Amino acid sequence: MRKRTLGQTGPAVGALGLGAMGMTSGVYGISDRAESIATVHAALDAGLTLIDTGDHYGAGHNEMLLAEALRGRPRESYLLSVKFGALLAPGGGFLGQDSRPAAVKNFLIHSMTRLGVDYVDIFRPARLDPDVPIEDTVGAIKEMIEAGYVRHVGLSEVGAKTIRRACAVHPVADLQIEYSLISRGVEADVLPTLRELGVGMTAYGVLSRGLISGHWKNAAAQPGDNRSRMPRFSGDNVEHNLALVEALRRVAEAKGCTVAQLAIAWVAAQGDDIIPLVGARTRNRLKEALPAAHLTLSADDLAEIEKAVPAGSAHGDRYPAAMMANLGAGN
């Protein structure tokens, strides 16, 4: 696995990262714990070193799953990116974000305990807290870096103004944000700002939650799979979006790869400062994704992809309206 560096100050990591969110039941339907652990092992064995999780994934169960999967592995052989601060209610429901300095430290000790580690490689607020200046939040993470409990500052789903303010307090390794062929909002302002400031990007949703994987079928959601609530998977939107996938499939077939491989490789081709996160829940899906790290796209390939899936061609937002309002991408 080739490596890329997260920005000017971040660590060197495998050219693909592993997103663990889907390994926790209740996000995309029922998950198989044993298969999830086997997938983590297979990812590490293949040279993926960056693993992304969040303290709210499965209300902490995602971190405990990773602790089991990573047990016995040398700590220096993997890097943990942890999002913190998303507030959940019993029975489900998002209550907001808590990024107060005291909360930062509290969330950190609980994450380290669940993960079974004595430091976190990248620590980032899951969303922007409108009630807490980003300077205060980053300042608290900086204190934890100085104390040896964190290695790098990260951000998640924020806009150019917030990135600049955060960097004024401490160097930021990377911004985690959704980026795919059908989610290209970062290109106008956020991505140029990251490059100006020397901040990397970890791109999640590179397959738009499976929609552009080449495997999704309309009405494929299972009980407990919350994709059915997302506008891109609903009504006429999903039919339109799957037609885009079929156009992309024709390009993939001509290239001799799968749709998923082409979509992942497209994200990676947008710059060496971008690390696509692969949300594989099974070894089969991981095995399919891995060749994307070595798939080279020519200018002609990129032009054909653009014809198949032009910017802005997808129908429907990536989240429901209430969740879109909490992203903070304009700040």
Do the Cβ atoms of 279 and 19 come closer than 8 Å? Answer: yes
Say which of 57, 78, 149, 179 is annotated catalytic.
57
User: What is the Cα–Cα distance from 137 to 208, expressed in whole angstroms?
Assistant: 29
Phi-psi group of 271: left, alpha or beta (phi > 0 → left; psi -120 to 50 → alpha; rest → beta):
left
Query: Using only C-alpha atoms, what is the Rg of the chain?
Result: 19
- 118: which 2 tokens? 């004595």
57 is catalytic: yes
Among candidate residues 243, 270, 266, 244, the one with its CA nearest the CA of residue 255: 266
d(CA 201, CA 170): 17
DSSP 106-172: HHHHHHHHHHT-S-EEEEEESS--TTS-HHHHHHHHHHHHHTTSEEEEEEES--HHHHHHHHTTS-E
* Residue 72, number of CB atoms within 10 A of its CB: 5
CA–CA distance, 21 with 140 (Å, rounded to integer):
25
- Enzyme catalytic residues: 57
